[in-house]
Copies of this chain bind each other. A is one copy, B any other.
Amino acid sequence: MRISELSRTSGVPIATIKYYLREGLLQAGQATGATRSEYGEPHLRRLRLIRALVDVGGLPLAKVREVLACVDDPPASLHCALGTAHDALGAAPPDARGADLAEAVVAGAGWRVDRASPAFAQLGAALAALVDAGFPAGPAALERYVRAAVDLATAEVADVPRTDTAAAVQFVVLGTILYEPVLLALRRLAQQHASATTLG
């Protein structure tokens, strides 16, 4: 298809597609003339992936680039691929008060995690915000969230395909990012349902 049709089908403006092409996020089409290229299904899939990471995942373009680089050129270790996904999801600046709160929860859960990782700083910032708003943020108060996180993460990691490295990296990196908005939207709808039933 021509770029105009790629734009129509994907819903992404031509100027944006050209920008992604210039930036190397989207692979070039097959040249069919001096100013004309032909695009196919892989371009459409790639374009949808970029938009999903931006619109649904909320990633800035620089992080989209890192995520795509990891998917295109898979690292040897899946644990590294997970690190790339987590790094892309952003982090709060480290904060001593948050670190103490996060440490208590992580130690209580018995988790083996990197205290220098963005996710650890993110947990600290989120817990400090809870405390500031008058909510409890200790291991006991968070027990149900820890349990939900363990249940989901254990099943997710068990689901990683073990035979094909490229597929596994794609699964880990994109799954980590794209299931976050799903989980949040489901929690909000489940709250609506529980609220309509008991508080309505």
Give A contacts to B, CB under 8 Å.
45, 48-49, 52, 55-58, 77-79, 82, 86, 89, 92, 102, 105-106, 109, 111-114, 117, 119-120, 122-123, 125-130, 132-135, 142, 144-146, 148-158, 160, 170, 172, 174-176, 178-200
Contacts and interface: CB of A to CB of B under 8 A. Distances in A.
Contacts of A160: 199
How many copies the complex holds: the figure is 2
A182 B111 contact: no
Contact of A190 (B142, B153, B197): B153
Contacts of A154: 190, 194
A117 B192 contact: yes
Given A144-B155, A151-B148, A92 B56 contact: yes
Given A145-B182, A199-B78, A199-B160, A189 B129 contact: no
A8 to B, nearest CB: 15
